[in-house]
């Protein structure tokens, strides 16, 4: 009897696909399965980003200048854990974490150093930040004003996706409802002040990293997106305006064809979701997305094998029509990427973009009996999950009930079992293993970073106008108890050098902290 073969999500793969699937749609046209632009990469390749940030703003600034010199088209900023969860570097909760998984940003002074020598009008910046996204956006806007930039021209993205934090990642601060209020405040503020800014990057990446399969990543991400649409509309915002500035952030894993099918299905599904909620402008119906290669697929064993994995995932993302891409360094299962591994990761994108011919035609796998069938199967199974979530009252309710968390945990357990039994082969881990010496060339962050940041904070607090800062924080606290948009006050506060922790703590006083299930 022939062995059954399935995708990573459990879709059984037939030995041969022979039935043609009708192809009546074109790229750039609803429902955008084949791409959101008619010409796709023939006109312009995807934006090649490299996610970077570590230690101090000074050190990260050096890495950004290096990456820009090597051909990066846009910056992607990683923040340390204290910054992500609203603590200044000198807070007791920051001990041991300052500058470790990203750059430490405490105030506008740090932001000024981080982007020193970089004109914000001329670079697109993506910031992976969620619970404190409103503060980091305010800091970026304040810096742009100091540079004399036209706010109508600055472009970039804040992740700003708090729902996946409750379900998969854990860097939340406030309860769900006030967190959703902050997000819609950002939607509203940016539509007037920074219209080219992508106000949210709805992230399946961290859902996948937590153990979800491709179908769950797709379904849970789009369900969260649907919740953000509804929250904004309930606040009176026009879906044809704010939905144009929503983007998505997906993972690319190793099953090449399922990943391509996932990306194609995502565009189709989002087009129908937005249309069903009243979007009539095609740009408000388009799913634009950034991709990052799969961090959880990297192995500490035989780490140079990760170069091949990243190249395969790059193919999946670009064959699937991504708008921008970050490729992981081969050493990231062990440490932060070295300069060499970051360069190889970028060169991987450049070789595929400029040497492979992948951008010569639009949606090159379209019409493949296998890919078209798989696209429809992925979509059908994702719709089933979304319907379950809708029946629970939507994504927020499904998360509060623990449904999403349980589904991800079950998927992660199944995947680990498959590795341990040898049903799923991970080269160099459970098959083709070798005795090897540990890597010696690894990137380490200096443990003295917290001391340096704390000294900078003491100096800042001695020099700024503390009466003005306190007045603005008091005003923010009062406005948080009303329905008034908080963004103008946050921007003014950071312009007067209120710190990230002071602003986050002000809202903690009003809303409290969410403790999870």
DSSP string of 59-112?
A: HHHHHHHHHHHTT-SEEEEEB-HHHHTT--TTSGGGTTTTTTSSB---SHHHHH
pLDDT tens-digit series, residues 17-65: 887 677 788 999 999 999 999 999 999 999 998 776 777 889 889 988 9
Mean pLDDT estimate for the chain: 94
- Which of 195, 288, 292 is CA-nearest to residue 242? 195
pLDDT tens-digit series, residues 188-216: 999 999 999 999 999 999 999 999 999 99
pLDDT confidence of residue 187: 94
The pLDDT-based confidence of 74 (bands split at 50, 70, 90) is confident
Can you tell me which residue has the tokens 């997106």? 225
The pLDDT-based confidence of 468 (bands split at 50, 70, 90) is very high
pTM: 0.91
DSSP string of 270-306?
A: HHHHHHHTT--SHHHH---EEEEE-GGG--SSSTTHH
Residues 274 and 335: their CA atoms lie apart, in Å, by: 40
């Amino acid at each position: 009897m022939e062995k059954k073969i399935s995708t990573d999500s459990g879709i059984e793969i037939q030995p041969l696909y022979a039935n043609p699937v009708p192809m009546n749609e074109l790229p750039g046209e609803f429902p955008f399965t084949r791409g959101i632009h008619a010409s796709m990469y023939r006109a312009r390749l995807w934006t090649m980003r490299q996610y970077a940030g570590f230690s101090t703003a000074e050190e990260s600034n050096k890495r950004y200048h290096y990456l820009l010199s090597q051909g990066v088209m846009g910056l992607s900023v990683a923040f340390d854990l204290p910054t992500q969860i609203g603590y200044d570097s000198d807070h007791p909760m920051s001990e041991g974490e300052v500058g470790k998984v990203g750059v430490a940003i405490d105030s506008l002074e740090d932001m000024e150093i981080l982007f020193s020598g970089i004109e914000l009008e001329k670079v697109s910046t993506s910031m992976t930040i969620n619970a404190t996204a409103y503060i980091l956006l305010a800091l970026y806007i304040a810096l742009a004003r100091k540079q004399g930039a036209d706010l109508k021209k600055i472009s970039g993205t804040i992740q700003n996706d708090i729902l996946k934090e409750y379900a998969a990642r854990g860097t939340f601060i406030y309860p769900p409802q006030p967190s959703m209020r902050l997000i819609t405040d950002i939607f509203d503020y940016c539509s007037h002040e920074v219209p080219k800014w992508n106000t949210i990057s709805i992230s399946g990446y961290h859902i996948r990293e937590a153990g979800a399969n491709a179908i769950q990543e797709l379904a849970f991400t789009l369900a969260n997106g649907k919740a953000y649409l509804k929250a904004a509309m309930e606040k009176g915002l026009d879906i044809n305006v704010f939905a144009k500035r929503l983007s998505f952030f997906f993972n690319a894993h190793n099953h090449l064809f399922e990943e391509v099918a996932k990306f194609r299905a995502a565009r189709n599904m989002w087009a129908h979701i937005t249309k069903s909620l009243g979007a009539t402008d095609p740009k408000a119906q388009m799913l634009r997305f950034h991709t990052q290669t799969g961090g959880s697929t990297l192995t500490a064993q035989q780490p140079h094998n990760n170069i091949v994995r990243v190249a395969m995932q790059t193919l999946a993302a670009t064959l699937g029509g991504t708008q921008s891409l970050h490729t992981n360094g081969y050493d990231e299962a062990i440490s932060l990427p070295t300069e060499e591994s970051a360069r190889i990761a970028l060169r991987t994108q450049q070789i595929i973009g400029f040497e492979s011919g992948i951008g010569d035609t639009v949606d090159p796998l379209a019409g493949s009996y296998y890919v078209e069938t798989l696209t429809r199967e992925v979509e059908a199974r994702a719709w089933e999950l979304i319907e379950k979530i809708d029946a629970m009252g939507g994504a927020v309710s499904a998360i509060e009930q623990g449904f999403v968390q349980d589904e991800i945990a079950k998927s992660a357990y199944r995947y680990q079992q498959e590795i341990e039994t040898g049903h799923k082969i991970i080269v160099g881990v459970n098959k083709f293993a070798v005795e090897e010496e540990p890597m010696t060339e690894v990137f380490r962050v200096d443990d003295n970073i917290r001391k340096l940041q704390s000294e900078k904070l003491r100096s800042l607090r001695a020099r700024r106008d503390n009466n003005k800062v306190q007045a603005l924080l008091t005003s923010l606290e009062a406005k948080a108890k009303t329905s008034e948009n908080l963004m103008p006050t946050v921007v003014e506060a950071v312009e007067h050098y209120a710190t990230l922790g002071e602003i986050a703590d002000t809202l903690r006083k009003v809303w409290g902290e969410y403790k999870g299930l």
